[in-house]
Amino acid sequence: AQSVTQLGSHVSVSEGALVLLRCNYSSSVPPYLFWYVQYPNQGLQLLLKYTSAATLVKGINGFEAEFKKSETSFHLTKPSAHMSDAAEYFCAVSAPTGGGNKLTFGTGTQLKVEL
Amino acid sequence: ETGVTQSPTHLIKTRGQQVTLRCSSQSGHNTVSWYQQALGQGPQFIFQYYREEENGRGNFPPRFSGLQFPNYSSELNVNALELDDSALYLCASSGDSTYNEQFFGPGTRLTVL
């Protein structure tokens, strides 16, 4: 069964500092991995996805993530945090279910950006 | 291209009642998935529909049921509501993508009193 673990339910950074949100996955097959962002009282917006084409994936809003098979990790980074990045971030892995696929999410990391 | 829409935005019900939530998929998408997100948790997969047939189900009881219509809109029905059903219900649509990229609606916030 596929699963993801997000280390750190809350992360706080200063504006302009590096953002690092951690995600480790478990999968019996080559995984498809995703990062989603959720702003208060909103749905989920896709930041980026890993589909085995390249290990370094660039997404929207300056975020990127690197797939490391040896470490079973898919950490999300951004070189310089902005106040607008404050939100909850979810890592997810695509897993087969019946004839289709479902997303299995981590528990989320709340990112706080301080002045 | 329109995105995924959901209605209503908010809903308050009492324990034991029944509720229907609605979702309109993104144009051209033939697969819809429903997720339940309890407060402070990640979304949990309820079920998925593909071309009007259930295509996978998570660990939810039968009182959670769904429908998908020929125009790819869908419904989530919950019978005999319990207090623990209070959550944000998210609908996501996807097309014939190998990568299962799912596009989420804004959700329906259900409160059960």
Task: Express each pLDDT in A43-88 by its tens digit.
Answer: 899 999 998 778 899 999 999 999 999 999 999 999 999 999 999 9
What is the predicted pLDDT for the residue at A2?
84
**What is residue B103's three-state secondary structure?**
strand
What mean pLDDT is predicted for residues B44-56?
91
Residue of B23, B93, B104 for testing the chain A interface, max A β-carbons within 10 Å: B104
Q: Which pLDDT value is given to residue A98?
A: 65
CB contact (8 A) between residue B42 and residue A102: no
State the pLDDT at residue A97.
Answer: 66
Q: What pLDDT digit, counting tens, does each position of A16-36 carry?
A: 999 999 999 998 777 889 999
Contact: A32, B99; criterion CB under 8 Å = yes
DSSP β-bridge partners for residue B99: none
Q: Which of B41, B89, B100, B103 to mutate to test the interface with A (most CBs of A within 10 A)?
A: B100
Mean pLDDT, residues B30-52: 93
Q: Are B57 and B47 in contact (CB under 8 A)?
A: yes
CB pairs under 8 A between A and B: 77
B73 — phi, psi (to 5°)? Answer: -75, 165
pLDDT in tens, B82-98: 999 999 999 999 887 65
The residue of chain B nearest to residue A39, with distances taken between CA atoms, is B106
- Look at B100 and A108 and tell me if their CB atoms are within 8 Å: no
Cis peptide bond upstream of A79, omega within 30: no
Q: Which of A34-38, A85-89, A99-103, B65-69 has the lowest mean pLDDT?
A: A99-103
Q: What whole-number distance in Å separates Cα of residue B11 and Cα of residue A40?
A: 17
> Comparing C-alpha atoms, which of B88, B90, B87 is closest to residue B105?
B90
Mean pLDDT of B88-113: 88
> How confident is the prediction for chain B on average, in pLDDT?
92
Chain A residue numbers touching B40 (CB-CB < 8 A)? 108
- Rg (chain B; Cα; Å): 13
pLDDT at B109 over 60: yes
pLDDT score at A94: 87
For the CA atoms of B28, B63, B47, B111, the dihedral, rounded to the nearest 10 degrees, stands at 80
Residue type for B18, please?
Q
- Are A108 and B42 an interchain contact pair (Cβ–Cβ within 8 Å)? yes
